[in-house]
């Protein structure tokens, strides 16, 4: 196994400096006014808190109100900042290790409803036919409207083999409908690989702690199975991959690059810039690579696609990616949970911001002829269309454009994007739309 120096991100710990009292006379007038207004607003919060505490029709636990207030503050910033209580923080740590209990579904919040980003392969959600773009409107008959994302996710988790009924609203389907599922232990196989004749096909469904090692093992197996001299190339499928760990995205990119920058992150201040670079050595030196992306490819997936595209190491094929180019730092709070706070933006090696823009495919290929010919709104939207999303650099309202439907056909013979990629690697004449 090739060794690399990959910086692994640990949770940042907030360190509070001792308070230093500064006489008001020594502070600028603007600072004094700002401080006074801040304390006035905090007093307002305290007044409202006490009034609810004493006069609301039913008694509400203090911790529940405070947690709701924190979530309200963070959700007003952008869709990806949130507070995790101790239980949810523990669940997140388990999930990044690649094993957790639940339904096997990646979700986000949109317009007060839980929206399916993608069902995870071979899980109860995938087997029940839940699709990207579905909205979960009720859980066991309880309306989702009014819940936080954390509350909804917590309700979807539970003991293995226990039952839950999801009420779904699906674009194009007139009435909401129920889907009954049994919870299971979800073991994430983030890398799936198979031989497509003389081409290696590898699909990465998420970026967890096992992704890099699983990728190396899969490519080693396929190279031996096909024969290194007969291997025509690799199709790296990142479609509907919602992302995951930054260090794993860097490691996967590094597997196909011999040198150069992979990605940089830039925060609020100039000194908050971090750059990640490739180490010497590749897994498939000299072999052509095609990366498949679509509107469900987000975050870490976009880092890989952007790095390989900028270095011209791979051809990017499919449709424009989701555009989630922001960095979330996990800040543990001692004795409580953790804060998930958006702290920076991702930039490709060429200096392109991913946020609210995404990665455009070099060759635009839609799954159906109808998708290729229509510009009508569809079920899957980009980061730029999420309420309160972090603005991309130079973003205008005209960029909030719906993407094409993102279902990947279960019948591989009907997967036009994959077929196109395989033909391209084998030198078959194909036609498509090339992006500039």
Q: Known catalytic residues?
A: 299, 310, 324
Cβ proximity of 420 and 291 under 8 Å: no
Helix (H) or strand (E) holding 271: none
Taking phi over 0 as left and psi of -120 to 50 as alpha, with beta for the rest, 281 belongs to: left
Nearest to 251 by CA among 281, 220, 211: 211
Q: How far is residue 251's CA from residue 244's CA, in Å, rounded to a whole number?
A: 12
For the chain, counts of helices (H) and of strands (E): 10, 20
Residue 367 makes CB contacts below 8 A (sequence gap 6+) with: 404, 405, 407, 408, 409, 415, 416, 417
Taking the C-alpha atoms of residue 244 and residue 93, their distance in angstroms, rounded to an integer, is 12
295: Cβ contacts below 8 Å, ≥ 6 apart: 319, 320, 321, 322, 380, 381, 382, 403, 404, 406
d(CA 100, CA 121): 14
In eight-state DSSP terms, residue 244 is B
CA-wise closest residue to 106 among 94, 98, 115, 97: 115
For 338-354, letters b (16+ CB in 10 Å) and e give bbbbbbbbbbbbeebbb
Asked if 240 and 297 touch (Cβ cutoff 8 Å), the reply is yes
Strands 314-318 and 289-293, bridge-based pairing? parallel
CA–CA separation, 243 and 230 (whole Å): 32
């Amino acid at each position: 196994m090739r060794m690399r120096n990959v910086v692994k991100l640990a949770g940042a710990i907030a360190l509070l400096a001792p308070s230093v009292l500064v006489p008001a006379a020594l502070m600028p007038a603007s600072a004094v006014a700002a401080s006074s207004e801040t304390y006035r607003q905090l007093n307002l919060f305290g007044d409202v808190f006490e009034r609810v505490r004493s006069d609301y029709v039913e008694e509400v636990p203090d911790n529940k109100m405070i947690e709701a207030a924190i979530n309200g503050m963070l959700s007003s910033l952008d869709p990806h900042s949130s507070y995790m209580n101790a239980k949810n923080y523990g669940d997140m740590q388990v999930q990044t290790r690649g094993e957790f209990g639940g339904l096997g579904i990646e979700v986000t919040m949109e317009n007060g409803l839980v929206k399916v980003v993608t069902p995870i392969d071979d899980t109860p959600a995938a087997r029940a036919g839940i699709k990207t773009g579905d909205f979960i409107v009720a859980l066991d008959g309880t309306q989702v409207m009014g819940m936080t994302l954390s509350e909804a996710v917590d309700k979807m988790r539970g003991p293995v083999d226990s039952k839950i009924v999801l009420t779904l609203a699906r674009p194009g389907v007139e009435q909401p409908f129920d889907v009954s599922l049994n919870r299971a232990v979800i073991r994430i196989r983030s890398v799936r690989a198979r031989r497509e004749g003389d081409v290696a096909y590898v699909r990465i469904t998420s970026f967890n702690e096992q992704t890099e090692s699983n990728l190396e093992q899969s490519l080693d197996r396929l190279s031996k199975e096909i024969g290194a001299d007969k291997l025509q190339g690799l199709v790296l499928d990142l479609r509907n991959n919602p992302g995951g760990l930054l260090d794993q995205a860097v490691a996967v990119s590094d597997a196909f690059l011999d040198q150069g920058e992979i990605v940089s992150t830039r925060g609020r201040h100039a000194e908050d810039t971090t750059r990640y670079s490739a180490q010497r050595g590749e897994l498939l030196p000299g072999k052509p690579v095609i990366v498949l992306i679509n509107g469900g490819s987000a975050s870490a997936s976009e880092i890989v696609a952007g790095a390989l595209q900028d270095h011209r190491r791979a051809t990017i094929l499919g449709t424009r990616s989701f555009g989630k180019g922001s960095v979330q730092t996990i800040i543990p709070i001692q004795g409580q949970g953790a804060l998930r706070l958006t702290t920076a933006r991702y930039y490709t090696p060429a200096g392109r911001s991913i946020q609210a823009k995404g990665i455009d495919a070099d060759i635009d290929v839609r799954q159906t002829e109808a998708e290729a010919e229509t510009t009508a709104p569809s079920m899957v939207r980009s980061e730029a269309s999420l309420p309160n999303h972090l603005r991309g650099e130079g973003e205008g309202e005209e960029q909030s454009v719906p993407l094409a439907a993102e279902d990947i056909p279960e019948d591989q013979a009907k997967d036009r994007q994959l077929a196109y990629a395989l033909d391209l690697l084998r030198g078959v004449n194909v036609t498509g739309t090339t992006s500039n």
